[in-house]
Amino acid sequence: MSSSQFVRRIISTTEAGPIGGPYSQGVVIGHTLYLSGSIGLDPTTGLFAGEGVQEQARQ
């Protein structure tokens, strides 16, 4: 299947912090979600939401 047959859907939310550049917060192509500029910070403290990738991703 060629890439031209996939629909690209832009994802954005106001619940995340402001993005720091001219890019999308996320893009869905086919069955894959691509994220950019997202890190696991707790918005109330500004600190990482946990020590591991699982806690930060869940945040």
pTM of structure: 0.57
Q: What is the pLDDT of residues 4-56, one digit of tens each?
A: 688 999 998 887 777 778 888 899 999 999 988 777 888 788 888 888 888 87
Q: What is the pLDDT of residue 32?
A: 95
Q: CB of 55 within 8 A of CB of 45?
A: no
Cβ neighbours of residue 14 under 8 Å, at least 6 residues apart?
none
Chain center to CA of 28: 11
Q: How many domains are there within the chain?
A: 1
Which residues span the domain enclosing 24? 3-58
